[in-house]
Amino acid sequence: MDKVAQDKPRITLRQLASHLAGIGRDYPPTETEDWPVSTIPRERMQPSTENKSELTYAPTYEAVMKAVSKYPLVNVPYEYPIYSNTGMSLLGLANVAANQMGNASALNEPQSHKELLKRDIFDPLQMKSSFFNIPNDEELRSHIAVPSVNTEYVDIPFGDVLDPAGGQYSSLGDLAMVMQTILSPTGRGGVISANVVREWLRPLFSFSSVSEEVGAPWEIIPSLYDVKAYTKGGNLPGYHSEFVVIPEYSIGIILLVTGEYSDTRTILKEVSKRFIPTLRKLHYAEIERRYAGTWVNGEDIAEVELKKGALMLKKLYINGVDVLKSIHDTLSAQTAHRNVQQMESTPSVALWSTGRAGEFRLAFGRPNLNKVKDVGCFPYWASFDIALHSRGAPIDLVYWRRGVFTYPSAGVSLDRKK
């Protein structure tokens, strides 16, 4: 047990990407002997100026690695996020090394973060206005925004070590291409698989006292005008940006700001206040167009409505059987021994998307437990995929294909009633 207690935690790429590795913000730190003092010079709050390359803003690789080895973690991994530029630098360096290790000839592979991004992201997405050093191309140079304050930062290369943390220049058009491949990974020219995007767009840590979550590398707003927003802010002296993905509506917002004003979050809220309500209406209208209404085939009938933003199956009669009531009564009987009031009528059932276009599961939950406060298991997600199939399909599955409603376990398809 003593050995287990003394084991040093291993740092993973996921921890680095989500600022959950516990590595300090900027290494190597500035050392001071005259502490405490009443006034701290601003330059003392910056990373150490020692051991920096003469041509770049960043510390050398040797200085960073020595500091990472020397100083203990701020906290243990996954305890809570510690924003770390050093962690992002290590992530970029690790990506380069992993790519080289995965190929027979490492010398023929990209040797730096900027080379790896150019090969795997910039070139495939045709991002012609993204780079890490001021280009020689006069046309590109003429479009680089120079802030009214801290103008020197436009000319400072960050170098191979710090490039992953903040050395990239990019344009609105190029960032829009990145946004498009995240919102539609299966679209033409995508460089990220849909499975990776689903894994990527989710929180890894939630602050209980504030409405904010952290992902890899997202700063997540759980409710930005009632939608979850995955944001990534960027800030250097004179430069401020916000890259915002809203998966629910398949939209993105990109903010690029130079100068003294740095509050991109307030700009985001103002933009969202004006656009999200309208986009929500368009979203609901499209859902109703595709799914809502009455669907029939002879005597078989299904009724679907959009209620408070949720798609609901109101009725499903197949071969004279009230399917919703049949399943509802069966699930109720499983918990009838509990002291819970039985429902007098069969309620509508929510349709939960499976992530495959037009496919849904019926969210029955446990009828007698769905509204019970502090019930042991969350009834809805714990009750999907009822262990009963027919015709090779689960009885809680429905889907639409080419405008036709299908209930596969009953072997029936229904058309929208005209």
Q: What is the pLDDT of residues 134-177, one digit of tens each?
A: 889 999 999 999 999 999 888 888 899 999 999 999 999 999 99
Question: Is 96's pLDDT higher than 90?
Answer: yes
Structural domain for 346, as ranges = 293-416
Report, as an integer, the average pLDDT of 2-9. Answer: 62
Q: Is 369 inside a domain boundary?
A: yes
For range 14-42, the mean pLDDT:
88
- Which tokens hold the place of 4? 């287990």
Report yes or no on 351 lying in a domain.
Answer: yes
Q: How far apart are CA 389 and CA 384, in angstroms?
A: 13
pLDDT at 338: 52
* Average predicted confidence (pLDDT) for the chain: 89
212 or 1: which carries more pLDDT confidence?
212
pLDDT at 174: 97
Q: Is residue 326 in some structural domain? A: yes
- Which two tokens mark 221? 């707003």
Looking at residue 240, the DSSP 8-state letter turns out to be E
Structure tokens at 389: 């199939």
Distance between CA atoms of 118 and 120, rounded to whole angstroms? 6
Per-residue pLDDT at 32: 81
Pair 252, 182: CB distance under 8 Å: yes
Is pLDDT of 178 > 60?
A: yes
The one-letter amino acid code at 59 reads P
Among 6-10, 35-39, 373-377, name the one with the lowest average pLDDT: 373-377
The residue that leads in pLDDT, 10 or 110, is 110
Convert the pLDDT of each residue in 234-287 to its tens digit: 999 999 999 999 999 999 999 999 999 999 999 999 999 999 999 999 999 999
**Overall number of domains in the chain:** 1
Confidence of residue 103 (pLDDT cuts 50, 70, 90): very high
Is residue 295 over pLDDT 50? Answer: yes
* pLDDT of amino acid 280: 96
For residue 100, pLDDT over 90 is answered with: yes
Residue 373 falls within a domain, yes or no?
A: yes
- Residue 204's pLDDT is 95
Rounded-to-5 percentages of helix, strand, coil across the chain? 35, 20, 45
**pLDDT confidence of residue 382:** 77
| 302 domain-assigned | yes
pLDDT digits (tens, 9 = 90+) for 48-73: 655 555 555 678 999 999 999 999 99
How wide is the angle at C-alpha 286 spanned by C-alphas 280 and 288, nearest 5°? 105
Domain-located, residue 320: yes
Q: Domain for residue 345, yes or no?
A: yes
Structure-model confidence comparison of residues 382 and 51, the more confident one: 382
Cβ contacts of 152 within 8 Å, gap of 6 or more:
none
Which residue type is seen at 110? P
pLDDT at 378 over 50: yes
In a domain, 396, yes or no: yes
Average pLDDT score over residue span 65-87: 95
Is residue 296 within 8 A of residue 401, CB to CB? The reply is no
The mean pLDDT of 90-100, rounded to a whole number, is: 97
Give me the percent of the chain exceeding a pLDDT of 70. Answer: 90
pLDDT, tens digit (0-9, with 9 covering 90-100), for 309-353: 999 999 999 999 999 999 888 887 766 555 445 445 678 999 999
pTM, to two decimals: 0.89
